[in-house]
Structure 1
């Protein structure tokens, strides 16, 4: 098999191959590489030798700045300048049932984009429930309530997630590997027989999964990896080495040390060196994007790699967007941006189809949305996490001798819109200065409207009209105490927010679920549910959220520390959603061996029952009525 590899060295504009030179017998001289915004143009190497030399030179130019003269004995380095059709519309139900409403209906994973499945720890086809908890994959037959197949993963594996499709059950996970004295992570995806869990196909690649999507019978993955250059790291961080030692160690590396390798059913892929491309800066990481046919036949796998960091993935029917937050160590404050790469797929093979940059950082995948030929991106600049850049804060005691950092600029948030072309992302418009001094806590794009929550002491819920991509406009700014960490449409002109209530000073007091009316240009609060000293994982894990339109309920896992934090309980909260009201319909608990361990993590509907999953087992309760327990399958 032949694997085409597209490699980009850390998202900048031009090659840094001229960034370092040396002469025989002289100390190497390295030109510093200042931080510059990423470009929208990648260049290609002419072959394997040129690719390796370019990577080594770019790495030396960057690494020499990571460890300046005070770390190297030689001390010879000067400091450098430091309508996506499936996108959720307001009337969409979110996790729509696979087989329609009715007795045979069942819920799916809470996906951001309708028709684009996301990996999760539990899946169902309405007949069986497939789950992976505590490193064990189990198949539970719903009719009999029995575990009919089981597979325990090795203790060296982690981050297990599942896809379920016509081609089988897919298990994705990362495994720690030792090869002699070399240790690294390896991402694996196994295509399994759903009934027996027998492995039909297997792909292994150096690294760990960033995220994945399944759409149209195709699995699309982004896998992050690090170069296997331990001798270089020994020089860089071991102490006692100088710049010449670093250059020599880099000179001993091969292309295989930098490019992530992969195998399919034990057969290694090959890299076409002519397809390796490069911008200027090198961060030391790589992200590989590839597609697999759900039905099998993986002998023509053709991954593409961006040799940069990648943290966030947004998937649509046609595209996979990979976002990377990048920053430069300025003298006074950070320069930062998010770089976005778009990949489109043709017959399972990804191709880079556009790049863009936006100011600041993303919250999560919900900060990105493709709709009607445009990509919309919500970001926060001068986020509090980067607040006192390069120092220890204006009020801190700099015990280690660092200088007191200057007051940072106020944070603010921005929505930027890009036209999506065949091979380019072109900015058309933006609106900024949302939530000045605050940061984004939740984003939801619904059709040509964006809803954005920012928070510091109060929660402004911004409504942004995106109907004109050249002129986004803020039409509403609803201010309430607390914040929403996740937003979900729950019918026409209705939006549900899950987060925390807070005092006027911004101190959180417990779980708050808000029902908003979004019919007008500015949203309005219809009702709120408050549970003191409680919180839900939905705030940071949307897959934990279930909305079942047929019964007009939302189910979310909750940890409740009780009054005065004296009586801890964990369970699933069932909320009945009326036209203008929220009511607690049920509280479902599992009998836990340890009352303080993690409780229910997922809920799903199959027919007339709610199934809830914890590390202890699966439980079924009636859907509606008294929500009485009907089954328990212990693990």
Structure 2
């Protein structure tokens, strides 16, 4: 175990904070997000920047600290250059990490891949995840790389987490075979959504407790530190909780791990899981009403001067076999880029689900920030952009961003071995990513799609690009680029399939660009298709076919409900849309979380969740008729379509009723998966087994 480690009894204090996502709390979350995403990019030593100063992006070669004393001194110097009268934050608008309402970071848009329990690959579908015949899983990005989600299957069992409990289902008998409360007295973990990974008889549950900011409560001027009634004690670890569950018999917890910060994301290859966490120094900046800005800034710097390494470096706590040990990331595990702000750290943890204990996670920490994770297995990338630092003020005055602020930093780690990841290289690309699908590694090259410029107001000047980079020693060197995509628009979806990239931009119409990336040094746009609306997620559907799910829109760009599109991309120079399925007033979780999208190649079946308001009808490639719904009432269903050579055929819908038969009591379906010819749909109310061919109900298991 790196760092200090002593055996201590588990505290009786609360280990989580109940958070209700009220508008005020959402506002607080946005403020904390703006702070948490401030990239480590202020060169040191430098004088304190004025409140309107923009912090430039810097160099990327990572260097380990020689000692804790050196690490602490340089962190303090960098942090003091960035702190303002109200603590850390853009233009000083966040007074204190702990003073704002805070919650766990969202699951970065979210995400998708494939390993045991991911989508089976169709012939020629190199981007879809491969799985054993007979079962799928929830949608993922890369073959052989699994991602955490609220339900998993290995074909023999289905495991899901819901409202603080884990459930195990036998898909063959359609029976609930196990149930486990994940924490005493916990009911939904105070609103923190759980996800899990599955390997053999082990499940790893990830709880998004905590945040990227500070665990300590705010201190009134002249007052003593105290614990709030509904929060943790000042020295408690507040952050994500990892729970290892043994599924070999009645499910039971065999280990827990907590660490300061917030969960960014995780990836699994075989038995090895990489967990990415971001954290910040645990400092409290008091609110001083009767003081000048200079006095407040001086007081904030004094607080930094008095901080210790324990205030900066993430602490962790491990429970196994009834014993709890604590420690923190050692200074020898921390590296720094050439310039940084000292306000945030990213830690990559490694765990082996093939053993019965979690261990210390073998942490590797970088003084930087990160909000998006992509992995193809041998390599893992953590991306970090600065939009939340620069956009709020720019949007308010309809101003264009400064080009030097529009950067995304990329950190590449070698994860080909089972041990701790090895930092390899880093780079900076202009613009911002939409999600992990904007990154893809192929043939030794990383492709990255970004948007830069102003996308709002009356004078949008945005443009999108695709950059091709190759690892060259400790840097990722740009070897090619395509620019000028979607002027005045922003990227809504990206998918890379082998040597081709598909980029969707949108403001009023939806250009689908095909990009030829076979020659990394000379990428080029092959073709363009302009249609109304946009796709928010793109999925390969076999040779020459591409599926899109997003929103239909009017000629003026006003969205008009969920649409599924089938594109023929056989000729990259002339992409065409073969068919469209439109649900008026519809919205789908698959539009922002690809895990909610299911494509089962064996049946050429597409299943997406839909929430629809009013009397709903479909139009486009199928005849007009009611899908589901009553005027004024939301309807929640899973829509199943079969993809033919010429378009869509509606198979039907599945709903989860709570037993009253009333439309308003339909629980929103969130995920779909296939096991041995049975379609399983998952909601907060339970799981339903449905015939894949007829959509007749075969069984219902309530878990809500």
TMscore range, shorter length: 0.7 to 0.9
Local SS of the residue matching 2:343: coil
Q: Is the 8 A contact 1:444 1:488 kept in 2?
A: yes
Superposed CA RMSD: 3.1
| Contact 2:334 2:366 (8 Å CA) reproduced | no
Distance in 2 between residues matched to 1:540 and 1:33, nearest whole Å: 34
CA distance in 2, matches of 1:538, 1:369: 20
SS where residue 70 of structure 2 aligns?
helix
Q: Are 1:470 and 2:536 an aligned pair?
A: no
Retained in 2: the 8 A contact 1:38–1:339? no
Deviation at 1:56, TM superposition (A): 1.1
Contact 1:95 1:546 in 2 (8 A): no
Tell me the SS of whatever aligns to 1:242.
helix
| SS of residue in 1 equivalent to 2:197 | strand
Report if the CA contact (8 A) 1:19-1:32 is conserved: no
Structure 1 position 260, deviation (Å)? 0.8
2:407 is the counterpart of 1:342: no
**Which of 144, 150, 153 matches 2:173?**
144
Structure with greater strand share of residues: 1
Shift of residue 511, structure 1, vs aligned partner = 1.6
Q: Deviations over 1:449-500 (max 9, x none)?
A: 0001101111100000001111110011100111111100111110001111
Gaps of 5+ in 1: 21-28, 73-83, 389-406
Aligned to 1:112: 141
Please give the alpha-carbon distance, in whole angstroms, between the structure 2 residues aligned to 1:530 and 1:433: 30
Q: In 1, are the aligned partners of 2:678 and 2:691 still within 8 Å (CA)? A: yes
Cα displacement string for residues 130-179 of structure 1 (whole angstroms, at most 9, x for unaligned residues): 11122321112223333222123424451210101136111111335844
Q: 1:441 aligns with which of 482, 492, 498?
A: 492
Map 1:116-195 → 2, pairs under 5 A: 116-153=145-182, 154-155=186-187, 156=189, 158-166=192-200, 168-175=202-209, 178-181=231-234, 185-194=238-247, 195=249
SS of the equivalent of 1:550 reads: helix
Match of 1:273 in 2: 331
Give the whole-Å Cα distance in 1 for the aligned partners of 2:272 and 2:122: 24
* Cα 1:52/1:556, change in 2 over 3 Å: same
Aligned: 1:629 with 2:697: yes
- Specify whether residues 621 and 422 from structure 1 end up closer, same or farther in structure 2 by C-alpha distance, changes over 3 A only: farther
CA contact (8 A) 2:237 2:258 kept: no
Cα deviation, residue 299, structure 1:
3.8
Alignment partner of 1:282: what SS? coil
SS class of match (1:589)? strand
Is it true that 1:315 corresponds to 2:413 in the alignment?
Answer: no
Match of 1:563 in 2: 615
In the alignment, what sits opposite 2:23?
none
Moved more, 290-299 or 29-38: 29-38
Determine if contact 2:149/2:196 at 8 Å carries over to the other structure: yes
The CA deviation at 1:268 is 2.6
Selected match of 1:261 from 315, 318, 327 = 315
1:504 is paired with a residue whose SS is: coil
Q: Answer whether contact 1:225 1:285 (CA < 8 A) is retained.
A: yes
Q: Distance in 1 between matches of 2:611 and 2:318?
A: 42
- Residues 422-461 of structure 1 correspond to what in structure 2 (within 5 A)? 423-461=474-512
**Contact residue 114 and residue 141 of structure 2 kept, 8 A:** no
Give the secondary structure class of the aligned counterpart of 2:144: coil
Aligned to 1:367: 438
Report 1:562-581 matches (<5 A).
Answer: 562-563=614-615, 566-581=632-647
Q: Measured at CA, do residues 96 and 47 of structure 1 come closer, stay the same or move farther in structure 2, by a change above 3 Å? A: closer
Q: How many Å apart are 1:263 and its aligned residue?
A: 2.7
Separation in 2, partners of 1:238, 1:348:
53
The 2-side partners of 1:615 and 1:339 are apart by: 37
> Equivalent residue for 2:78?
58
1:301 aligns with 2:361: yes
Q: Is the 8 A contact 2:59 2:339 kept in 1?
A: no
Do the aligned partners of 1:33 and 1:281 also contact (CA within 8 Å) in 2?
no
Distance 1:583 1:528 in 2: 11
Q: Could you tell me whether the CA contact under 8 Å between 1:12 and 1:39 is conserved in 2?
A: no
Q: Provide the C-alpha distance between the structure 1 equivalents of 2:296 and 2:633, rounded to a whole number of angstroms.
A: 58
Relative to structure 1, is the Cα distance of residues 260 and 12 closer, same or farther in structure 2, using a 3 angstrom cutoff? closer
Q: How does 1:395-406 map to 2 (within 5 A)?
A: none
Aligned to 2:344: 285
Higher alpha-carbon deviation: 107-116 or 275-284: 275-284
Within 5 Å, give how 1:11-26 maps onto structure 2.
15-17=43-45, 19=47
Aligned to 2:452, which of 353, 378, 381? 381
C-alpha distance in structure 1 between counterparts of 2:505 and 2:135, whole Å: 34
Helix, strand or coil for the counterpart of 1:163? strand
Contact persistence 1:93–1:547 (CA under 8 A): no
Match of 1:583 among 638, 649, 658: 649
The aligned counterpart of 2:627 is none
Q: Deviations over 1:175-201 (max 9, x none)?
A: 358442467632121221124221223
> Against the structure 1 CA distance between its residues 237 and 371, is the aligned structure 2 distance closer, same or farther, given a 3 Å change threshold?
farther
Offset, 1:320: 1.1
Work out the CA distance in 2 between the residues paired with 1:274 and 1:237.
40
Contact 1:97 1:108 in 2 (8 A): no
The structure 2 residue matched to 1:98, chosen from 115, 125, 131, is 131
Distance in 2, matches of 1:455 and 1:200, equals 48
More displaced 10-residue stretch of structure 1: 245-254 or 106-115: 245-254
| Aligned partner of residue 223 in structure 1, secondary structure | strand
Partner of residue 206, structure 1: 260
Q: Cα 1:275–1:12, aligned 2, differ >3 Å: closer, same or farther?
A: same
Distance in structure 2 (CA, Å) of the matches to 1:93 and 1:467 = 15
Q: Shift of the alpha carbon at 1:315? A: 1.0
After TM superposition, the structure 1 stretch with the greater mean CA deviation from structure 2, 306-315 or 603-612, is: 306-315
Note the alpha carbon deviations across 1:362-416, whole angstroms, 9 max, x for none: 01010000111000000010253xx46xxxxxxxxxxxxxxxxxx7560110100
Change (3 A) 1:307 1:610: same
Q: Which residue of the partner structure matches residue 75 of structure 1?
A: none
Kindly tell me: are residues 98 and 206 of structure 1, through their superposed partners in 2, closer, same or farther at Cα, counting changes over 3 Å?
A: same
Determine the C-alpha separation between the residues in 2 that align with 1:224 and 1:300. Answer: 16
CA offset at residue 47 of structure 1? 1.2
Give the 3 Å change call, closer, same or farther, for CA 235–555 of structure 1 in structure 2. same
Matched residue SS, 2:60: coil
Matched, 1:600 2:651: no
Judged with a 3 Å threshold, the aligned counterparts in structure 2 of structure 1 residues 416 and 571 are, in CA distance, closer, same or farther, namely same
Q: 1:526 — aligned with what? A: 578
Count the aligned residue pairs: 585
Deviations along 1:73-97, one digit per CA (max 9) or x if unpaired, are xxxxxxxxxxx99999982276656
Determine the C-alpha separation between the residues in 1 that align with 2:290 and 2:494: 44
Q: Secondary structure at the match of 2:656?
A: coil
Pick closer, same or farther for the CA change 1:130–1:167 going to 2, 3 Å: closer
Q: Which runs of 5+ in 2 are unaligned?
A: 5-35, 94-112, 216-230, 617-630
CA–CA distance in structure 2, aligned partners of residues 365 and 424 of structure 1: 20
Residues in 2 aligned to 1:30 and 1:412: alpha-carbon distance in whole angstroms: 30
- Compare 330-339 and 252-261 and name the one that shifted more: 330-339
SS of the equivalent of 1:528 reads: strand
* Whole-angstrom CA distance in 1 between matches of 2:358 and 2:318: 7
CA contact (8 A) 2:138 2:671 kept: no
TM-score (norm 1): 0.85
Whether the 8 Å CA contact 1:85–1:372 is kept in 2: the answer is: no
